[in-house]
């Protein structure tokens, strides 16, 4: 029986696989963001004499690979902070530590599913953080730096994509957007911006805008203020290196908020951009269901959430033409998410359980 741990760092993902006695079953491996599909395939078939791992363990600060792993049918578990030693301010605990935790304490870990997303079992922390953040959201709103949608009296709409850039799906999304001549906003994770700068440049060269989506897609309740600040700053630095600009908008992974994180935003930085239409594409309900969900709920001023990375996004790509055509038929004009900030207002805080 094998156990695998996946750690993240500034340069990508470190993987350790051990056997039931705690011995390494394979040599340690390192994978950059462009090779996550290859990593998934390797874990599914690690060698001719080895079975797939009985458990693959990630930290709660790593929300970038579980989607592909669960879509491939692999057994993925999340290790929360209280079952691990203290991690560094930027990066996760070693992959070997994660694999060993699976071997000796699998019952203390949370099993993840494609439907439940990366934060399965953390509902109380998720919703509690949002409730406690209400005063900070009100202050950001008064400052014009928090919004879920734009003005409802303008025929404008913003299509947004989270968790990229992805080596497989982002290019397909860009091709479809170009075919229809519409603009979108890509909320990118810093680790992938760092690894795939040419793809970020392609997004910008095509006339689309960018948003900050943290470095490693962490669950914000598990970050200290300093760790959150580093997630934002390192991602800004990656954008600056790739395209010479820093995004004006930030979207928290899973839509999670905490007073500690929003307190950091109050001191300056990007505006907080959520959404009012969740396509639920992260749950992979089928392309027709994704398109119908968007078209049933979108209207003037809507900020639409879709995904180009963080998992198997074939259904998102397949649904996109119907989404665009349906919105164009309503004479809606596609604009960047930050363009909706002018005159934007908030009608209560939304929640999200996606990637």
Closest CA to 223 of 197, 261, 195, 196: 261
In order of start, what are the domains of the chain with their CATH numbers? 3-111 (3.30.420), 134-341 (3.20.20.370)
Separation of CA 42 from chain center: 23
- Digit-coded pLDDT (tens) for 30-68: 999 899 999 999 999 887 778 999 999 999 999 999 999
Mean per-residue pLDDT over the chain, rounded: 93
The yes-or-no verdict on residue 346 having pLDDT over 80 is no
In this prediction, residue 342 carries a pLDDT of 66
CB 147 within 8 A of CB 340: yes
Q: Is pLDDT above 80 for 180?
A: yes
pTM: 0.94
Is the predicted pLDDT of residue 220 greater than 80, yes or no? yes
Whole-number percent of the chain with pLDDT over 90: 89
Q: What is the pLDDT of residue 352?
A: 44
**230 close to 210: Cβ distance less than 8 angstroms:** no
Query: Do the beta carbons of residue 133 and residue 258 sit within 8 Å?
Result: yes
Whether 350 has a pLDDT exceeding 80, the answer reads no
Residue with tokens 């970050």: 223
Tens digit of each residue's pLDDT (9 = 90 or more) over 160-169? 999 999 999 9
- The 3-state DSSP class for residue 234 equals helix
Q: Predicted confidence band at 120 (pLDDT cuts at 50, 70, 90)?
A: confident
Asked whether the predicted pLDDT for residue 177 surpasses 50, the reply is yes
Mean pLDDT of 264-289: 94
**pLDDT score of 337 more than 80:** yes
Please report which confidence band the pLDDT of residue 274 belongs to, taking 50, 70 and 90 as the band edges.
very high
Alpha-carbon distances of 168 from 31, 63, 260, 266, rounded to whole Å: 16, 18, 35, 36
pLDDT at 131 over 60: yes
Q: Given this model, what pLDDT does residue 16 score?
A: 97
Decide if 77 contacts 104 (C-beta within 8 A). Answer: no
pLDDT at 48: 74
Is pLDDT above 50 for 124?
Answer: yes
What is the model's pLDDT at position 344? 57
Listed in sequence order, the DSSP H helices in 34-93 are 36-44, 66-71
Evaluate if residue 146 carries a pLDDT over 70: yes
Q: Which residues are catalytic?
A: 162, 307
The H-assigned helical ranges of the chain are 36-44, 66-71, 95-105, 123-132, 134-142, 170-180, 190-195, 197-205, 225-243, 259-266, 287-297, 314-328
**pLDDT band of 234, cuts 50, 70, 90:** very high
Q: For position 49, what pLDDT does the model report?
A: 74
246/233 Cα distance (integer angstroms)? 10
Can you count the helices (H) and strands (E) in the chain?
12, 15
Q: Which of the residue ranges 43-57, 245-259, 307-321 would you say has the lowest mean pLDDT?
A: 43-57
pLDDT at 50: 86
Any idea which residue has 């696989």 for tokens? 17
CB 39 within 8 A of CB 58: no
Proportion of the chain above pLDDT 70, given as a percent:
96
pLDDT of residue 46: 83
Cis peptide leading into residue 165 (ω within 30°)? yes
- DSSP symbols for 109-169: SEE-BTTTBTTTT-HHHHHHHHHHTHHHHHHHHHTT-EESS--TTSSEEEEEEEEE--TTT
**Which residues lie closer than 8 Å to 129 by C-beta, 6 or more apart?**
220, 221, 256, 257, 258, 259
Please compute the mean of the pLDDT values over residues 84-110 and round it to a whole number: 96
Exposed, middle or buried by CB within 10 Å (0-12, 13-18, 19+), for 208? buried
Q: Count of alpha carbons within 13 Å of 267, Cβ hemisphere only?
A: 7
The mean pLDDT value for 24-28 works out to 95
Q: The tokens of 277 are what?
A: 């239409």
Does residue 5 surpass a pLDDT of 90?
yes
């Amino acid at each position: 029986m094998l156990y695998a741990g996946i750690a993240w760092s500034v340069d990508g993902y470190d993987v350790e696989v051990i056997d039931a006695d705690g011995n390494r079953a394979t040599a340690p491996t390192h994978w950059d963001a462009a090779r996550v599909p290859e990593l998934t395939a390797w874990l599914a078939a690690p060698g001719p004499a080895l079975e797939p791992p009985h458990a693959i363990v990630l930290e709660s600060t790593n929300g970038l690979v579980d989607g592909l792993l669960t879509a491939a049918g692999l057994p993925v578990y999340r290790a929360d902070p209280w079952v691990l030693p203290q991690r560094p301010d930027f990066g996760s605990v070693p992959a070997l530590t994660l694999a060993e935790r699976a071997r000796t304490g699998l019952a203390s870990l949370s099993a993840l599913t494609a439907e439940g997303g990366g934060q399965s079992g953390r509902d109380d922390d998720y919703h509690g953080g949002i409730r406690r953040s209400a005063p900070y959201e009100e202050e950001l709103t008064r400052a014009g730096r928090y919004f879920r949608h734009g003005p409802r009296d303008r025929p404008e709409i913003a299509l947004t994509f989270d968790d990229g850039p992805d080596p497989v799906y982002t290019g397909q999304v860009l091709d479809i957007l170009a075919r229809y001549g519409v603009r979108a906003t890509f909320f990118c994770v810093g680790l992938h911006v760092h690894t795939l700068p040419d793809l970020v440049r392609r997004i910008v060269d095509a006339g689309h805008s960018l948003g900050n989506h943290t470095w490693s897609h962490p669950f914000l309740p598990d970050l200290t203020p300093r760790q959150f600040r580093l997630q934002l700053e390192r991602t800004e630095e990656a954008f600056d290196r790739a395209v010479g600009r820093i995004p004006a908008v930030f979207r928290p992974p899973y839509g999670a908020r905490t007073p500690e994180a929003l307190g950091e935003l109050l001191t300056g930085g990007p505006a907080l951009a959520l959404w009012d239409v969740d396509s639920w594409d992260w749950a992979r309900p089928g392309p027709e269901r994704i398109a119908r969900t968007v078209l049933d709920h979108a209207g003037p001023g809507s900020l639409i959430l879709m995904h180009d990375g963080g998992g198997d996004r074939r259904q998102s790509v397949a649904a996109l033409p119907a989404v665009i055509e349906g919105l164009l038929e309503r004479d809606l004009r596609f604009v960047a998410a930050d363009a909706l900030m002018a005159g934007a207002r908030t009608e209560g805080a939304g929640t999200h359980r996606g990637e």
